[in-house]
Structure 1
């Protein structure tokens, strides 16, 4: 099914000052680079406003270049985790992240899957430690299996908390791959909005560029068929707005 456009132009705009209401924030990224692509502007605005921010990296990130011989899996993981830390630092996020190290492309998505319960418990503990009032998580039907699995892990973590944080869902792959069934509906209980991140766009672009292995050749040089973000994909994240789906209180 061909991808369709998100109706983002119809979403209301919230100003940069909105971030002050979010309190302590934890961003959950399925892969190194999702934090910069999906919500790098928001993270930079939060830190400029003096709000606490911490990050969780769900997968080990090794499947972007699985055929590299010069960089075995553990070496690829180390490169991508270093890029993740650098990107966070450029956005002003200096708290030590939680690295779950789950298998890239095979993040567990159900309670019976190996590692799911342990990861959900670690997430819940991390959210409690950082006294998170808001958690940023990929849109629940973002069309990548690891993104959907990450959403389910966060849901499980929040269900175990007496006072779970508010949830904002950000968009990564829906820009390129969404079908009609992937878009929000009235039954999802979410409200879409655009956040004006214009004043933080330079920091966001620097953070995206810090993921060198994903944006240009030259890092994992012996896997020419490995993944790189296309110019078309990157263009979705160069504008002054980020799209979020706010989960409405029941």
Structure 2
């Protein structure tokens, strides 16, 4: 068996909760409903407590978590998961009425060069130009899920064409569980930091719990359906979150 991958995250310097406010107005880009709460729910709560504006982009339609359900056909799954996102955002203090729904195919978000990539970039660029955020939160560029990697490419392409590029801060979701050595930050590539979210861990956990279809048998007629495991969830119950920024 290959040697287990040693995650470097615990070595990152710990920033105090007040550091969140320095990010200013923020747009969080979520490949799927729940990524916003898992990867950066604590940061979002702290931003809102500091009075900073936060808005959201949901990239995929979220329908592939239970692809074989007949009780919840694709449109019903989309509606359910978008409702869960709205509830989670409300818990975090984020207004959901400004959310941009790209509704790209879950499991097949287009990457650079694929059909649909450039139109998605154009919509995202227009939204970011209108919002003019100081910071954009985006999945880690090699987070080991194809939709997360494609989302990173969409965001980088959109931001490259803005008159003033926002600060890009990358968050991790699946790297906690699935990262190979090549998925992790390479020497000199980025600098990482952890954010102390002790004061808002409870709020983050409530937001995660709002995504009931990913945690419990809300959709009970697809035995192959996705469910977040207890070991996966444990990473997001820690009193800190991990972020990376290009050097």
Instruction: Calculate the aligned-residue CA RMSD, in Å.
Output: 1.1
Task: Quote how far apart the aligned CAs of 1:187 are.
Answer: 4.5
Aligned ranges 1:80-159 → 2 under 5 Å = 80-95=81-96, 96-110=98-112, 112-159=113-160
Question: What are structure 2's unaligned runs of at least 5 residues?
Answer: none
Q: Secondary structure, in 3 states, of the residue corresponding to 2:191?
A: strand
Q: Secondary structure, in 3 states, of the residue corresponding to 2:123?
A: helix
Aligned ranges 1:1-250 → 2 under 5 Å = 4-95=5-96, 96-110=98-112, 112-188=113-189, 190-217=190-217, 219-248=218-247
Measure, in 2, the Cα distance between the counterparts of 1:234 and 1:120. Answer: 31
Structure-1-length-normalised TM-score? 0.95
Task: Quote how far apart the aligned CAs of 1:5 are.
Answer: 3.4
Moved over 3 A (4+): none
Measure, in 2, the Cα distance between the counterparts of 1:6 and 1:99. Answer: 33
Structure-2-length-normalised TM-score? 0.97
Task: Quote how far apart the aligned CAs of 1:186 are.
Answer: 2.6
- The size of the alignment, in residue pairs, is 245
Measure, in 2, the Cα distance between the counterparts of 1:108 and 1:137. Answer: 16
Question: What are structure 1's unaligned runs of at least 5 residues?
Answer: none
Note closer, same or farther for the CA distance 1:163–1:3 as it changes in structure 2 (3 Å cut).
Answer: farther
Measure, in 2, the Cα distance between the counterparts of 1:20 and 1:233. Answer: 28
